[in-house]
């Protein structure tokens, strides 16, 4: 094992995509620097954790460490959970990691796999796993495939058993002691195993599978009868082998011409007459844009009526402009694969109207006067640049288009 724990975590991340088993996970917990880093992530101070870290490491060396059965939210239990999650997140770095800034890129890579490999699919089988009800024995069995360290697995087992000890009687209740990051990671591990199991299923001419977090979609090139057989195989793997529960208790079988919802897009396949090939189309759901316009107070997207944002009217004009631009640029990056980018441009026009009305309310002027003033002078941020004030303008459709194109090119390079 490396003396530097962060180097060891880097080794785990480097081997996340292969079948090599990881070792020395338990001994990695002996390093004080890893605990201190976990304490920073958990928002704990040095005064709270200094003595506790030394005591916990000593208990781990003697194999006497125990979680607080009655209170998993205690400082000691939270610190150990955070440290274990750091190790598990490094081992399964190819899956989701909420703290990884590249997590959004992993979602786009999943969409890229659909674009590359699902062109020949005639049927989609898709669904989502209920992350609240992942069985302890199932998780331990899958972790043992990747981790060859019985002491670390025993510690994880003890942690999970303590989390699940106060299981609610109601099936609809959420387990209060299970952190959301663990349930999502465990669901992703299970769905990754489903993909490996599907490699041995011989149904149709071609079967492809993509998963991200607790969502998954399989594409099959074959008849509807073969698609139903594949759904039966998937259901058997999920419910019988892995003992998982599906959201809405069903797997959907959808023809390629009908859109399915996956990772924020409506996805379907269409036949291109010019190339005589099928093409995957990614569309921005109109309902999502209506919800965004309502939450961000742009106005009514369906009626195309803009409204002013009273919540930010006390900010400076430059800060208001930056907030609008930041939101629209974030949407352009999120929907960089969309084939119906015109919907995004409509939202941008609605946001522009909302911006003008907000500035007009701030200046106690009319929207017409504000529009002329902004078109002529822009928005001043108050900083001097060579004797002139720095000017800023509302983001344009051309800038959003260039940004989406750049994001797609970067995605193709990865």
How do residues 355-379 score in pLDDT, each as one tens digit? 999 999 999 999 999 888 888 777 7
Residues 200, 254 share a domain: yes
pLDDT digit string, tens, across residues 208-235 = 999 888 889 999 998 999 999 999 999 8
CB contact set of 108 (below 8 Å; sequence gap of 6+): 336, 337, 407, 411
Which range marks the domain in which residue 118 is found?
A: 106-136+179-282
- 166 within domain boundaries: no
Q: Give the pLDDT of residue 2.
A: 57
pLDDT digit string, tens, across residues 298-322 = 999 988 999 999 889 999 888 999 9
Residues 408, 268 share a domain: no
Q: Tokens 């099959």 — which residue? A: 220
Q: Tokens 């907030």 — which residue? A: 323
Task: Give the chain's domain count.
Answer: 3
State which of 64, 94, 124 marks the end of a domain.
94
- 149 within domain boundaries: no
CB 120 within 8 A of CB 278: yes
Q: Give the pLDDT of residue 171.
A: 47
Q: Tokens 């005589």 — which residue? A: 276
Residues 273, 197 share a domain: yes
State which of 282, 304, 331 marks the end of a domain.
282
Q: Give the pLDDT of residue 52.
A: 86
Q: Which residues of the chain fall short of a pLDDT of 70?
A: 1-2, 70-73, 96-103, 165-178, 249, 275, 381-391, 413-414
For 31, phi and psi rounded to 5 degrees? -85, 125
Residues 391, 294 share a domain: yes
- 231 within domain boundaries: yes
Q: Tokens 């069985």 — which residue? A: 135
């Amino acid at each position: 094992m490396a003396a530097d724990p962060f180097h060891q975590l880097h080794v785990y991340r480097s081997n996340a995509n292969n079948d090599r088993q990881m070792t020395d996970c338990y001994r990695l917990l002996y390093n004080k620097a890893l605990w201190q880093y976990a304490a920073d992530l958990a928002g704990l101070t040095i005064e709270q954790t200094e003595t506790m870290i030394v005591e916990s490491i000593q208990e781990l060396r003697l194999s006497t460490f125990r979680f607080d059965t009655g209170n998993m939210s205690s400082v000691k239990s939270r610190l150990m959970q955070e440290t274990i999650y750091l190790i598990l997140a490094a081992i399964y770095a190819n899956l989701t990691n909420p703290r990884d800034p590249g997590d959004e890129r992993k979602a786009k890579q999943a969409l890229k796999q659909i674009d590359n490999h699902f062109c020949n699919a005639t049927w989609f089988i898709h669904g989502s796993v209920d992350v609240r009800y992942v069985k302890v024995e199932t998780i331990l069995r899958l972790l043992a495939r990747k981790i060859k360290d019985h002491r670390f697995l025993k510690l994880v087992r003890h942690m999970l058993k303590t989390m699940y000890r106060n299981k609610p009687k109601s099936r609809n209740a959420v387990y209060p002691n299970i952190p959301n990051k663990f349930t999502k990671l465990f669901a992703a591990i299970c769905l990754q195993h489903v993909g490996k199991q599907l490699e041995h299923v011989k149904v149709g001419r071609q079967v492809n599978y993509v998963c991200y977090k607790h969502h998954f979609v399989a594409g099959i090139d074959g008849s509807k009868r073969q698609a139903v057989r594949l759904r039966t195989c998937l259901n058997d793997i999920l419910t019988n082998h892995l003992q998982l529960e599906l959201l809405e208790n069903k797997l959907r079988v959808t023809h390629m011409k009908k859109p399915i919802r996956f990772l924020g897009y409506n996805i379907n396949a269409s036949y291109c007459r010019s190339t005589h090939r099928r093409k995957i189309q990614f569309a921005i759901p109109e309902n999502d844009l209506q919800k965004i316009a309502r939450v961000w107070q742009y106005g009514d997207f369906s009626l195309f009526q803009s409204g002013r944002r009273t919540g930010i009217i006390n900010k400076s004009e430059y800060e208001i402009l930056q907030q609008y631009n930041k939101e629209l640029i974030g949407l352009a990056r999120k929907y960089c694969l969309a084939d119906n980018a015109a919907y995004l441009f409509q939202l941008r026009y609605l946001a522009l109207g909302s911006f003008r009305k907000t500035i007009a309310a701030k200046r106690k002027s009319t929207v017409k006067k504000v529009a002329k003033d902004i078109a002529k002078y822009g928005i001043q941020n108050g900083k001097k640049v060579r004797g002139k004030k720095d000017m800023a303008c509302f983001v344009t459709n051309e800038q959003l288009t260039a940004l989406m194109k750049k994001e797609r090119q970067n995605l193709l390079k990865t």
